[in-house]
Structure 1
Protein backbone atom coordinates (compact mmCIF):
# COMPACT_ATOMS: atom_id res chain seq x y z
CA UNK A 1 0.00 0.00 0.00
CA UNK A 2 1.42 3.38 -1.03
CA UNK A 3 0.60 6.35 1.20
CA UNK A 4 1.11 9.74 -0.45
CA UNK A 5 0.84 12.70 1.93
CA UNK A 6 1.77 16.37 1.90
CA UNK A 7 4.04 17.40 4.74
CA UNK A 8 2.23 20.72 5.23
CA UNK A 9 -1.16 18.94 5.33
CA UNK A 10 0.10 15.83 7.09
CA UNK A 11 -2.77 15.07 9.45
CA UNK A 12 -5.67 15.68 7.08
CA UNK A 13 -4.00 13.75 4.23
CA UNK A 14 -3.14 10.89 6.59
CA UNK A 15 -6.69 10.71 7.95
CA UNK A 16 -8.12 10.55 4.42
CA UNK A 17 -5.65 7.84 3.40
CA UNK A 18 -5.91 5.61 6.49
CA UNK A 19 -9.69 5.85 6.87
CA UNK A 20 -10.19 4.81 3.22
CA UNK A 21 -8.53 1.44 3.86
CA UNK A 22 -10.26 -1.82 4.67
CA UNK A 23 -9.33 -3.83 7.74
CA UNK A 24 -7.43 -6.22 5.47
CA UNK A 25 -5.44 -3.32 4.00
CA UNK A 26 -4.45 -2.24 7.51
CA UNK A 27 -2.26 -5.35 7.80
CA UNK A 28 -0.52 -4.90 4.44
CA UNK A 29 2.92 -3.33 4.04
CA UNK A 30 2.73 0.45 3.77
CA UNK A 31 5.19 2.56 1.79
CA UNK A 32 5.22 6.31 2.42
CA UNK A 33 5.97 9.20 0.13
CA UNK A 34 5.97 12.86 1.07
CA UNK A 35 4.64 14.59 -2.04
CA UNK A 36 7.21 16.88 -3.64
CA UNK A 37 10.14 15.29 -1.82
CA UNK A 38 12.63 12.84 -3.25
CA UNK A 39 13.07 9.72 -1.21
CA UNK A 40 12.44 5.99 -1.25
CA UNK A 41 10.82 4.50 1.81
CA UNK A 42 13.09 1.75 3.07
CA UNK A 43 11.73 2.15 6.58
CA UNK A 44 12.94 5.62 7.49
CA UNK A 45 9.96 7.50 6.02
CA UNK A 46 7.54 5.17 7.80
CA UNK A 47 9.23 5.83 11.15
CA UNK A 48 9.10 9.56 10.49
CA UNK A 49 5.41 9.43 9.51
CA UNK A 50 4.34 7.56 12.66
CA UNK A 51 6.28 10.01 14.82
CA UNK A 52 5.05 13.17 13.09
CA UNK A 53 1.38 12.24 12.76
CA UNK A 54 0.99 11.04 16.37
CA UNK A 55 2.94 14.03 17.67
CA UNK A 56 0.47 16.31 15.91
CA UNK A 57 -2.73 14.58 17.00
CA UNK A 58 -1.56 14.32 20.64
CA UNK A 59 -0.73 18.04 20.69
CA UNK A 60 -3.11 19.59 23.28
CA UNK A 61 -3.60 22.58 20.97
CA UNK A 62 -5.43 20.28 18.56
CA UNK A 63 -8.11 19.71 21.18
CA UNK A 64 -8.27 15.91 21.03
CA UNK A 65 -6.02 15.22 24.03
CA UNK A 66 -4.99 17.06 27.17
CA UNK A 67 -2.29 16.54 29.78
CA UNK A 68 -3.31 14.43 32.74
CA UNK A 69 -4.07 16.39 35.88
CA UNK A 70 -1.76 14.15 37.88
CA UNK A 71 1.07 13.59 35.38
CA UNK A 72 1.96 16.24 32.83
CA UNK A 73 3.78 13.69 30.65
CA UNK A 74 0.69 11.52 30.17
CA UNK A 75 -2.17 12.38 27.84
CA UNK A 76 -5.87 11.78 28.45
CA UNK A 77 -8.86 12.19 26.14
CA UNK A 78 -10.25 15.72 26.07
CA UNK A 79 -13.99 15.45 26.87
CA UNK A 80 -14.60 18.77 25.08
CA UNK A 81 -13.21 17.44 21.79
CA UNK A 82 -16.72 16.65 20.53
CA UNK A 83 -17.53 20.36 20.83
CA UNK A 84 -14.30 21.47 19.18
CA UNK A 85 -14.36 19.10 16.19
CA UNK A 86 -17.56 18.14 14.42
CA UNK A 87 -15.91 14.99 12.99
CA UNK A 88 -14.08 14.08 16.22
CA UNK A 89 -15.02 10.40 15.95
CA UNK A 90 -13.08 10.05 12.70
CA UNK A 91 -9.89 11.31 14.33
CA UNK A 92 -10.11 8.94 17.29
CA UNK A 93 -10.83 6.00 14.99
CA UNK A 94 -7.87 7.12 12.87
CA UNK A 95 -5.55 7.30 15.88
CA UNK A 96 -6.67 3.88 17.06
CA UNK A 97 -5.80 2.47 13.64
CA UNK A 98 -2.43 4.23 13.64
CA UNK A 99 -1.57 2.86 17.09
CA UNK A 100 -2.65 -0.63 16.06
CA UNK A 101 -0.60 -0.41 12.86
CA UNK A 102 2.39 0.87 14.82
CA UNK A 103 2.20 -2.13 17.15
CA UNK A 104 1.69 -4.47 14.18
CA UNK A 105 4.72 -3.04 12.32
CA UNK A 106 6.90 -2.51 15.41
CA UNK A 107 6.85 1.25 14.98
CA UNK A 108 6.62 3.82 17.79
CA UNK A 109 4.06 6.53 18.55
CA UNK A 110 4.70 9.88 20.21
CA UNK A 111 2.13 10.06 23.00
CA UNK A 112 2.17 8.36 26.40
CA UNK A 113 -1.44 7.88 27.51
CA UNK A 114 -2.76 7.57 31.06
CA UNK A 115 -2.47 3.98 32.23
CA UNK A 116 -6.17 3.15 32.43
CA UNK A 117 -6.52 3.64 28.64
CA UNK A 118 -3.99 0.85 28.09
CA UNK A 119 -6.10 -1.24 30.47
CA UNK A 120 -9.16 -0.52 28.32
CA UNK A 121 -7.23 -1.68 25.25
CA UNK A 122 -6.36 -4.95 26.96
CA UNK A 123 -9.86 -5.46 28.35
CA UNK A 124 -8.57 -5.27 31.92
CA UNK A 125 -10.98 -4.17 34.67
CA UNK A 126 -10.66 -0.57 35.84
CA UNK A 127 -9.98 -0.26 39.57
CA UNK A 128 -10.93 2.47 42.01
CA UNK A 129 -7.29 3.56 42.36
CA UNK A 130 -7.15 4.26 38.60
CA UNK A 131 -9.31 7.35 39.20
CA UNK A 132 -6.26 8.96 40.80
CA UNK A 133 -4.46 9.05 37.43
CA UNK A 134 -7.27 11.12 35.98
CA UNK A 135 -8.66 13.20 38.85
CA UNK A 136 -6.78 13.21 42.14
CA UNK A 137 -9.29 15.48 43.90
CA UNK A 138 -12.21 13.17 43.06
CA UNK A 139 -10.18 10.16 44.16
CA UNK A 140 -9.50 11.57 47.62
CA UNK A 141 -13.07 12.85 48.00
CA UNK A 142 -14.49 9.41 47.23
CA UNK A 143 -11.90 7.75 49.44
CA UNK A 144 -12.92 10.01 52.31
CA UNK A 145 -16.59 9.15 51.74
CA UNK A 146 -15.68 5.46 51.75
CA UNK A 147 -13.95 5.85 55.11
CA UNK A 148 -16.93 7.72 56.54
CA UNK A 149 -19.29 4.97 55.37
CA UNK A 150 -17.00 2.29 56.80
CA UNK A 151 -17.01 4.09 60.16
CA UNK A 152 -20.82 4.11 60.23
CA UNK A 153 -21.26 7.85 59.64
CA UNK A 154 -24.63 8.90 58.19
CA UNK A 155 -23.95 9.96 54.57
CA UNK A 156 -27.41 11.50 54.25
CA UNK A 157 -26.14 14.38 56.37
CA UNK A 158 -23.89 15.40 53.45
CA UNK A 159 -26.89 16.07 51.17
CA UNK A 160 -25.33 14.34 48.15
CA UNK A 161 -27.24 13.04 45.15
CA UNK A 162 -26.36 10.95 42.09
CA UNK A 163 -25.00 13.91 40.09
CA UNK A 164 -21.58 15.36 39.43
CA UNK A 165 -20.52 18.83 38.35
CA UNK A 166 -18.28 19.24 35.31
CA UNK A 167 -16.86 22.26 33.56
CA UNK A 168 -17.72 22.44 29.86
CA UNK A 169 -16.07 25.21 27.84
CA UNK A 170 -15.76 27.36 30.97
CA UNK A 171 -19.34 26.79 32.21
CA UNK A 172 -20.25 24.45 35.07
CA UNK A 173 -22.88 21.83 34.34
CA UNK A 174 -24.59 19.20 36.51
CA UNK A 175 -24.52 15.69 35.04
CA UNK A 176 -26.75 12.87 36.26
CA UNK A 177 -24.74 9.73 36.98
CA UNK A 178 -27.86 7.56 36.55
CA UNK A 179 -31.33 8.23 35.17
CA UNK A 180 -33.10 10.57 37.57
CA UNK A 181 -29.92 10.96 39.60
CA UNK A 182 -30.81 14.46 40.76
CA UNK A 183 -33.70 12.98 42.73
CA UNK A 184 -31.74 10.12 44.31
CA UNK A 185 -30.14 10.91 47.65
CA UNK A 186 -26.87 9.18 48.56
CA UNK A 187 -27.31 6.96 51.61
CA UNK A 188 -25.19 4.36 53.34
CA UNK A 189 -27.26 1.66 51.64
CA UNK A 190 -26.82 2.91 48.06
CA UNK A 191 -23.28 4.31 48.52
CA UNK A 192 -21.64 1.35 46.69
CA UNK A 193 -23.86 2.13 43.66
CA UNK A 194 -22.92 5.82 43.92
CA UNK A 195 -19.22 4.96 44.03
CA UNK A 196 -19.55 2.71 40.97
CA UNK A 197 -21.52 5.37 39.09
CA UNK A 198 -18.88 8.01 39.81
CA UNK A 199 -16.10 5.71 38.62
CA UNK A 200 -17.95 4.69 35.45
CA UNK A 201 -18.64 8.29 34.49
CA UNK A 202 -15.11 9.54 35.22
CA UNK A 203 -13.30 6.64 33.53
CA UNK A 204 -15.70 5.85 30.68
CA UNK A 205 -18.91 7.83 30.48
CA UNK A 206 -17.65 11.35 29.84
CA UNK A 207 -15.40 10.19 26.96
CA UNK A 208 -17.38 7.13 25.91
CA UNK A 209 -17.74 8.05 22.24
CA UNK A 210 -14.08 9.01 21.84
CA UNK A 211 -12.86 5.92 23.70
CA UNK A 212 -15.11 3.60 21.67
CA UNK A 213 -13.74 4.95 18.39
CA UNK A 214 -10.15 4.71 19.62
CA UNK A 215 -10.62 1.06 20.60
CA UNK A 216 -12.51 0.17 17.42
CA UNK A 217 -9.70 1.63 15.34
CA UNK A 218 -7.08 -0.27 17.33
CA UNK A 219 -8.99 -3.54 16.96
CA UNK A 220 -9.31 -2.93 13.21
CA UNK A 221 -5.62 -3.91 13.12
CA UNK A 222 -4.92 -5.99 16.23
CA UNK A 223 -7.46 -8.71 17.09
CA UNK A 224 -8.36 -8.36 20.75
CA UNK A 225 -7.49 -11.99 21.72
CA UNK A 226 -3.85 -11.43 20.65
CA UNK A 227 -3.41 -8.80 23.35
CA UNK A 228 -3.86 -11.23 26.23
CA UNK A 229 -0.10 -11.86 26.38
CA UNK A 230 0.62 -8.23 27.41
CA UNK A 231 0.21 -6.27 30.61
CA UNK A 232 -0.66 -2.56 30.44
CA UNK A 233 2.89 -1.38 31.23
CA UNK A 234 4.36 -3.63 28.56
CA UNK A 235 1.85 -2.30 26.04
CA UNK A 236 3.01 1.28 26.72
CA UNK A 237 6.64 0.25 26.30
CA UNK A 238 5.90 -1.54 23.01
CA UNK A 239 4.01 1.42 21.59
CA UNK A 240 6.18 4.28 22.90
CA UNK A 241 9.54 2.53 23.05
CA UNK A 242 12.04 2.02 25.83
CA UNK A 243 13.32 5.39 27.06
CA UNK A 244 16.98 6.35 26.97
CA UNK A 245 17.69 6.60 30.69
CA UNK A 246 20.76 8.51 31.84
CA UNK A 247 21.49 6.87 35.18
CA UNK A 248 23.81 9.65 36.34
CA UNK A 249 21.22 12.33 35.52
CA UNK A 250 18.56 10.28 37.33
CA UNK A 251 20.72 9.90 40.43
CA UNK A 252 21.92 13.53 40.41
CA UNK A 253 18.34 14.84 40.34
CA UNK A 254 16.92 12.58 43.05
CA UNK A 255 15.84 13.92 46.42
CA UNK A 256 15.71 12.05 49.70
CA UNK A 257 13.14 12.36 52.47
CA UNK A 258 11.83 10.55 55.52
CA UNK A 259 14.48 8.48 57.27
CA UNK A 260 16.94 9.21 54.44
CA UNK A 261 16.63 13.00 54.63
CA UNK A 262 19.71 13.74 56.73
CA UNK A 263 22.39 11.75 54.88
CA UNK A 264 20.51 11.11 51.61
CA UNK A 265 22.30 9.01 49.04
CA UNK A 266 25.07 8.12 51.49
CA UNK A 267 22.70 5.82 53.39
CA UNK A 268 23.60 2.15 52.60
CA UNK A 269 20.03 1.31 51.48
CA UNK A 270 20.08 4.19 48.98
CA UNK A 271 23.47 3.11 47.66
CA UNK A 272 22.15 -0.43 47.24
CA UNK A 273 19.09 0.96 45.44
CA UNK A 274 21.21 2.65 42.78
CA UNK A 275 23.46 -0.39 42.45
CA UNK A 276 20.42 -2.63 41.93
CA UNK A 277 18.79 -0.23 39.43
CA UNK A 278 22.10 0.03 37.57
CA UNK A 279 22.08 -3.77 37.21
CA UNK A 280 18.54 -3.77 35.79
CA UNK A 281 18.11 -4.18 32.04
CA UNK A 282 16.56 -1.32 30.06
CA UNK A 283 13.03 -2.70 30.26
CA UNK A 284 13.10 -3.19 34.04
CA UNK A 285 14.43 0.35 34.51
CA UNK A 286 11.53 1.62 32.39
CA UNK A 287 9.05 -0.43 34.43
CA UNK A 288 10.50 1.05 37.64
CA UNK A 289 9.89 4.52 36.18
CA UNK A 290 6.31 3.50 35.37
CA UNK A 291 5.88 2.21 38.92
CA UNK A 292 7.03 5.46 40.55
CA UNK A 293 5.99 8.19 38.08
CA UNK A 294 3.09 6.56 36.21
CA UNK A 295 4.80 6.56 32.81
CA UNK A 296 8.00 5.34 31.17
CA UNK A 297 8.53 8.76 29.60
CA UNK A 298 11.59 10.81 30.53
CA UNK A 299 11.46 14.63 30.08
CA UNK A 300 13.51 15.76 27.07
CA UNK A 301 15.56 18.01 29.38
CA UNK A 302 16.19 15.20 31.85
CA UNK A 303 15.12 14.27 35.36
CA UNK A 304 15.81 17.78 36.62
CA UNK A 305 12.47 18.96 35.19
CA UNK A 306 10.34 15.96 36.16
CA UNK A 307 6.86 17.28 36.97
CA UNK A 308 4.35 16.36 39.63
CA UNK A 309 0.57 16.41 39.54
CA UNK A 310 0.46 20.19 40.00
CA UNK A 311 2.60 20.89 36.94
CA UNK A 312 5.53 22.07 39.06
CA UNK A 313 8.94 20.42 39.12
CA UNK A 314 8.79 17.50 41.54
CA UNK A 315 11.96 15.46 41.38
CA UNK A 316 12.22 11.71 41.77
CA UNK A 317 12.21 11.12 45.53
CA UNK A 318 13.34 8.20 47.67
CA UNK A 319 11.48 8.30 50.98
CA UNK A 320 12.88 6.26 53.84
CA UNK A 321 10.48 4.19 55.94
CA UNK A 322 10.91 1.34 58.40
CA UNK A 323 10.31 -2.23 57.28
CA UNK A 324 7.53 -2.35 59.86
CA UNK A 325 5.69 0.46 58.03
CA UNK A 326 5.65 -1.36 54.69
CA UNK A 327 7.40 -4.57 53.74
CA UNK A 328 7.67 -3.74 50.03
CA UNK A 329 8.55 -0.51 48.18
CA UNK A 330 5.44 1.63 47.66
CA UNK A 331 4.89 4.25 44.96
CA UNK A 332 3.16 7.65 45.04
CA UNK A 333 2.93 8.56 41.35
CA UNK A 334 1.45 12.03 41.99
CA UNK A 335 4.65 12.99 43.82
CA UNK A 336 7.17 10.87 41.84
CA UNK A 337 8.06 9.26 45.17
CA UNK A 338 8.99 5.75 46.19
CA UNK A 339 8.75 4.68 49.83
CA UNK A 340 11.85 2.51 50.24
CA UNK A 341 12.02 0.41 53.43
CA UNK A 342 15.35 0.40 55.23
CA UNK A 343 16.38 -3.13 54.27
CA UNK A 344 19.33 -4.81 55.97
CA UNK A 345 20.83 -6.36 52.85
CA UNK A 346 21.17 -5.52 49.16
CA UNK A 347 19.77 -8.92 48.22
CA UNK A 348 16.55 -8.29 50.16
CA UNK A 349 16.16 -4.86 48.54
CA UNK A 350 16.62 -6.32 45.06
CA UNK A 351 14.10 -9.09 45.67
CA UNK A 352 11.43 -6.82 47.16
CA UNK A 353 11.89 -4.04 44.57
CA UNK A 354 11.58 -6.38 41.59
CA UNK A 355 8.52 -8.04 43.10
CA UNK A 356 6.84 -4.68 43.77
CA UNK A 357 7.39 -3.52 40.18
CA UNK A 358 6.23 -6.86 38.75
CA UNK A 359 3.08 -7.05 40.87
CA UNK A 360 2.15 -3.48 39.92
CA UNK A 361 2.24 -4.47 36.24
CA UNK A 362 0.00 -7.47 36.90
CA UNK A 363 -2.63 -5.23 38.46
CA UNK A 364 -2.36 -6.73 41.94
CA UNK A 365 -1.58 -4.85 45.13
CA UNK A 366 1.00 -6.56 47.33
CA UNK A 367 0.10 -4.52 50.42
Structure 2
Protein backbone atom coordinates (compact mmCIF):
# COMPACT_ATOMS: atom_id res chain seq x y z
CA UNK A 1 0.00 0.00 0.00
CA UNK A 2 2.83 2.37 0.82
CA UNK A 3 4.60 1.54 -2.45
CA UNK A 4 1.40 2.19 -4.38
CA UNK A 5 1.07 5.68 -2.86
CA UNK A 6 4.79 6.37 -3.33
CA UNK A 7 4.64 5.50 -7.05
CA UNK A 8 1.25 7.20 -7.62
CA UNK A 9 -0.58 3.97 -8.36
CA UNK A 10 -4.03 3.31 -7.01
CA UNK A 11 -5.47 0.21 -5.39
CA UNK A 12 -9.04 -0.82 -4.71
CA UNK A 13 -8.62 -2.08 -1.16
CA UNK A 14 -12.26 -1.96 -0.17
CA UNK A 15 -11.39 -0.64 3.30
CA UNK A 16 -13.90 1.19 5.48
CA UNK A 17 -13.51 4.91 6.21
CA UNK A 18 -12.69 4.21 9.90
CA UNK A 19 -9.74 2.09 8.67
CA UNK A 20 -8.20 5.13 6.99
CA UNK A 21 -8.86 7.14 10.13
CA UNK A 22 -6.95 4.56 12.16
CA UNK A 23 -4.14 4.56 9.60
CA UNK A 24 -3.77 8.30 10.25
CA UNK A 25 -3.57 7.62 13.98
CA UNK A 26 -6.79 9.52 14.67
CA UNK A 27 -9.24 8.32 17.34
CA UNK A 28 -12.31 6.34 16.33
CA UNK A 29 -15.61 7.96 17.30
CA UNK A 30 -19.07 6.56 17.86
CA UNK A 31 -20.39 8.03 14.60
CA UNK A 32 -17.76 6.03 12.70
CA UNK A 33 -19.69 2.92 13.71
CA UNK A 34 -22.91 4.01 12.00
CA UNK A 35 -21.97 2.83 8.51
CA UNK A 36 -20.21 -0.38 9.52
CA UNK A 37 -22.50 -1.69 12.26
CA UNK A 38 -25.74 0.36 12.39
CA UNK A 39 -27.45 -1.88 14.96
CA UNK A 40 -24.61 -1.60 17.45
CA UNK A 41 -24.39 2.14 16.77
CA UNK A 42 -28.08 2.52 17.54
CA UNK A 43 -27.73 0.52 20.76
CA UNK A 44 -24.77 2.55 22.03
CA UNK A 45 -26.46 5.84 21.16
CA UNK A 46 -29.47 4.74 23.19
CA UNK A 47 -27.22 4.05 26.19
CA UNK A 48 -25.76 7.55 25.97
CA UNK A 49 -29.09 9.32 25.52
CA UNK A 50 -31.05 7.51 28.22
CA UNK A 51 -30.81 6.94 31.95
CA UNK A 52 -29.63 3.34 32.27
CA UNK A 53 -29.96 3.14 36.04
CA UNK A 54 -31.83 -0.07 36.91
CA UNK A 55 -32.38 -0.71 33.19
CA UNK A 56 -29.21 -2.37 31.91
CA UNK A 57 -27.16 -5.05 33.58
CA UNK A 58 -23.93 -4.63 31.61
CA UNK A 59 -20.32 -4.87 32.70
CA UNK A 60 -17.11 -3.74 31.03
CA UNK A 61 -16.98 -7.12 29.36
CA UNK A 62 -18.42 -8.01 25.95
CA UNK A 63 -19.23 -11.33 24.36
CA UNK A 64 -18.41 -12.11 20.76
CA UNK A 65 -18.39 -15.09 18.45
CA UNK A 66 -15.11 -16.39 17.01
CA UNK A 67 -14.89 -19.55 14.92
CA UNK A 68 -18.18 -20.82 16.30
CA UNK A 69 -17.31 -20.16 19.93
CA UNK A 70 -18.59 -17.45 22.27
CA UNK A 71 -15.73 -15.59 23.92
CA UNK A 72 -15.58 -12.82 26.47
CA UNK A 73 -13.37 -9.77 26.24
CA UNK A 74 -12.76 -7.33 29.08
CA UNK A 75 -12.74 -3.74 27.87
CA UNK A 76 -10.53 -2.82 30.83
CA UNK A 77 -8.78 -4.76 33.62
CA UNK A 78 -11.28 -6.60 35.83
CA UNK A 79 -14.01 -5.38 33.49
CA UNK A 80 -16.11 -8.47 34.11
CA UNK A 81 -16.69 -7.29 37.66
CA UNK A 82 -17.14 -3.61 36.85
CA UNK A 83 -20.79 -2.68 36.18
CA UNK A 84 -21.74 -0.03 33.62
CA UNK A 85 -23.44 2.86 35.39
CA UNK A 86 -24.83 6.24 34.50
CA UNK A 87 -21.51 7.75 35.64
CA UNK A 88 -19.16 5.59 33.59
CA UNK A 89 -21.28 4.76 30.51
CA UNK A 90 -19.38 7.24 28.30
CA UNK A 91 -16.14 5.41 29.04
CA UNK A 92 -17.88 2.09 28.31
CA UNK A 93 -19.11 3.29 24.91
CA UNK A 94 -15.69 4.70 23.99
CA UNK A 95 -13.91 1.47 24.91
CA UNK A 96 -16.55 -0.62 23.13
CA UNK A 97 -16.21 1.34 19.89
CA UNK A 98 -12.40 1.07 19.94
CA UNK A 99 -12.59 -2.68 20.58
CA UNK A 100 -15.19 -3.15 17.85
CA UNK A 101 -12.82 -1.82 15.18
CA UNK A 102 -9.70 -3.55 16.50
CA UNK A 103 -11.33 -6.86 17.39
CA UNK A 104 -8.93 -9.67 16.62
CA UNK A 105 -6.78 -7.61 14.23
CA UNK A 106 -4.81 -5.27 16.50
CA UNK A 107 -1.43 -6.97 15.93
CA UNK A 108 -1.99 -7.19 12.18
CA UNK A 109 -3.18 -3.61 11.89
CA UNK A 110 -0.23 -2.25 13.88
CA UNK A 111 2.12 -4.17 11.59
CA UNK A 112 0.37 -2.74 8.52
CA UNK A 113 0.48 0.77 9.96
CA UNK A 114 4.19 0.42 10.77
CA UNK A 115 5.03 -0.78 7.27
CA UNK A 116 2.97 1.96 5.65
CA UNK A 117 4.62 4.64 7.80
CA UNK A 118 8.09 3.46 6.83
CA UNK A 119 7.38 4.52 3.24
CA UNK A 120 4.90 7.32 3.88
CA UNK A 121 5.90 9.12 7.12
CA UNK A 122 3.03 10.18 9.34
CA UNK A 123 3.97 13.87 9.24
CA UNK A 124 3.30 13.90 5.48
CA UNK A 125 -0.24 12.67 6.08
CA UNK A 126 -1.18 15.16 8.81
CA UNK A 127 -2.81 17.66 6.40
CA UNK A 128 -5.26 14.98 5.21
CA UNK A 129 -8.42 13.60 6.74
CA UNK A 130 -9.54 9.98 6.38
CA UNK A 131 -11.72 10.66 3.33
CA UNK A 132 -8.85 12.35 1.53
CA UNK A 133 -6.53 9.47 2.45
CA UNK A 134 -9.01 7.03 0.91
CA UNK A 135 -8.78 8.98 -2.36
CA UNK A 136 -4.98 9.15 -2.16
CA UNK A 137 -4.75 5.37 -1.78
CA UNK A 138 -7.70 4.30 -3.92
CA UNK A 139 -8.23 7.15 -6.36
CA UNK A 140 -11.65 7.79 -7.85
CA UNK A 141 -13.85 4.75 -8.27
CA UNK A 142 -16.19 6.25 -10.87
CA UNK A 143 -14.83 6.55 -14.39
CA UNK A 144 -15.54 9.80 -16.23
CA UNK A 145 -15.82 8.72 -19.86
CA UNK A 146 -15.59 12.28 -21.21
CA UNK A 147 -12.35 12.81 -19.28
CA UNK A 148 -11.03 9.49 -20.59
CA UNK A 149 -11.78 10.51 -24.18
CA UNK A 150 -10.19 13.94 -23.88
CA UNK A 151 -6.96 12.49 -22.47
CA UNK A 152 -6.57 9.62 -24.92
CA UNK A 153 -3.75 9.78 -27.44
CA UNK A 154 -4.70 8.54 -30.91
CA UNK A 155 -2.15 6.89 -33.18
CA UNK A 156 -2.65 6.06 -36.86
CA UNK A 157 -6.26 7.24 -36.64
CA UNK A 158 -8.44 10.30 -36.07
CA UNK A 159 -11.24 11.21 -33.68
CA UNK A 160 -13.87 10.60 -36.35
CA UNK A 161 -12.38 7.32 -37.63
CA UNK A 162 -14.94 4.53 -37.68
CA UNK A 163 -12.90 2.26 -35.47
CA UNK A 164 -12.46 5.04 -32.88
CA UNK A 165 -16.20 5.75 -32.84
CA UNK A 166 -16.93 2.03 -32.52
CA UNK A 167 -14.51 1.75 -29.63
CA UNK A 168 -16.14 4.54 -27.63
CA UNK A 169 -19.62 3.24 -28.44
CA UNK A 170 -18.57 -0.09 -26.97
CA UNK A 171 -17.09 1.53 -23.86
CA UNK A 172 -20.24 3.63 -23.38
CA UNK A 173 -22.30 0.43 -23.36
CA UNK A 174 -20.07 -1.13 -20.68
CA UNK A 175 -21.08 -1.33 -17.03
CA UNK A 176 -18.91 0.54 -14.52
CA UNK A 177 -17.26 -2.75 -13.56
CA UNK A 178 -16.41 -3.63 -17.15
CA UNK A 179 -14.99 -0.16 -17.79
CA UNK A 180 -12.82 -0.67 -14.75
CA UNK A 181 -11.58 -3.99 -16.13
CA UNK A 182 -10.73 -2.35 -19.47
CA UNK A 183 -8.86 0.41 -17.66
CA UNK A 184 -6.99 -2.20 -15.63
CA UNK A 185 -6.05 -4.07 -18.83
CA UNK A 186 -4.65 -0.87 -20.34
CA UNK A 187 -2.97 0.71 -17.30
CA UNK A 188 -2.79 -1.96 -14.58
CA UNK A 189 -5.22 -0.05 -12.34
CA UNK A 190 -9.01 0.18 -12.07
CA UNK A 191 -8.79 3.52 -10.29
CA UNK A 192 -8.40 7.07 -11.60
CA UNK A 193 -6.21 9.73 -9.90
CA UNK A 194 -7.83 12.72 -8.21
CA UNK A 195 -6.54 14.91 -11.05
CA UNK A 196 -8.30 12.72 -13.59
CA UNK A 197 -6.99 10.76 -16.56
CA UNK A 198 -4.31 13.33 -17.37
CA UNK A 199 -2.42 12.20 -14.26
CA UNK A 200 -2.94 8.46 -14.71
CA UNK A 201 0.25 6.42 -14.58
CA UNK A 202 0.49 3.37 -16.83
CA UNK A 203 2.38 0.16 -16.31
CA UNK A 204 5.30 1.55 -18.35
CA UNK A 205 6.61 4.97 -19.31
CA UNK A 206 4.28 5.06 -22.31
CA UNK A 207 1.33 7.40 -22.31
CA UNK A 208 -1.16 5.71 -19.95
CA UNK A 209 -4.17 6.16 -22.21
CA UNK A 210 -2.67 5.43 -25.62
CA UNK A 211 -5.26 2.76 -26.14
CA UNK A 212 -6.43 3.58 -29.63
CA UNK A 213 -3.50 2.47 -31.72
CA UNK A 214 -3.24 0.65 -35.00
CA UNK A 215 -2.10 -2.50 -33.19
CA UNK A 216 -5.18 -2.40 -30.96
CA UNK A 217 -7.46 -3.18 -33.86
CA UNK A 218 -5.63 -6.23 -35.19
Which residue of structure 1 lines up, in the alignment, with residue 26 of structure 2? 124
Q: How does 1:5-16 map to 2 (within 5 A)?
A: none
Q: CA–CA distance in 1 between the matches of 2:132 and 2:27? A: 17
- Structure 1 contact 115–133 (Cα < 8 Å) conserved: no
Q: CA–CA distance in 1 between the matches of 2:55 and 2:45? A: 17
| Aligned counterpart for 2:4 among listed residues 97, 102, 110 | 102
2:149 aligned with 1:300, yes or no? no
Q: CA–CA distance in 2 between the matches of 1:241 and 1:187? A: 45
- Structure 1 contact 177–198 (Cα < 8 Å) conserved: yes
Between the two proteins, the alignment pairs up a number of residues equal to 150
Which residue of structure 2 lines up, in the alignment, with residue 220 of structure 1? 118
TM-score (norm 1): 0.38
Q: CA–CA distance in 2 between the matches of 1:158 and 1:103? A: 47
Tell me: higher relative CO, structure 1 or 2? Use CA pairs within 8 A at least 6 residues apart: 2
- Structure 2 contact 143–176 (Cα < 8 Å) conserved: no
Q: How does 1:147-166 map to 2 (within 5 A)?
A: 147-149=49-51, 153-154=52-53, 156-166=54-64
SS at the partner of 1:244? coil
Which residue of structure 2 lines up, in the alignment, with residue 229 of structure 1? 127
2:36 aligned with 1:134, yes or no? yes
- Structure 1 contact 162–184 (Cα < 8 Å) conserved: yes
- Structure 1 contact 112–236 (Cα < 8 Å) conserved: no
Shift of 1:108: 1.4
Give per-residue Cα distances to partners, 1:108-154, cap 9 Å, x unaligned. Answer: 113121001111222223211012233222111101111213xxx51
Which residue of structure 2 lines up, in the alignment, with residue 197 of structure 1? 95
| Aligned counterpart for 1:183 among listed residues 58, 70, 81 | 81
- Structure 2 contact 142–176 (Cα < 8 Å) conserved: no
Give per-residue Cα distances to partners, 1:198-239, cap 9 Å, x unaligned. Answer: 112112354211110110010110111011222222221121
Q: CA–CA distance in 1 between the matches of 2:133 and 2:143? A: 19
Gaps of 5+ in 2: 146-174, 180-218
Which residue of structure 1 lines up, in the alignment, with residue 155 of structure 2? none
Q: What is the root-mean-square deviation of aligned Cα atoms in Å? A: 2.3
Q: CA–CA distance in 2 between the matches of 1:210 and 1:134? A: 20
Which residue of structure 2 lines up, in the alignment, with residue 307 of structure 1? none
Q: Which structure has greater strand proportion?
A: 1
- Structure 1 contact 122–224 (Cα < 8 Å) conserved: yes
Q: CA–CA distance in 2 between the matches of 1:223 and 1:137? A: 36
Shift of 1:178: 1.1
SS at the partner of 1:157? coil
Which residue of structure 2 lines up, in the alignment, with residue 112 of structure 1? 14
Gaps of 5+ in 1: 1-98, 248-297, 303-367
Which residue of structure 2 lines up, in the alignment, with residue 263 of structure 1? none
2:48 aligned with 1:146, yes or no? yes
Bigger CA radius of gyration: 2
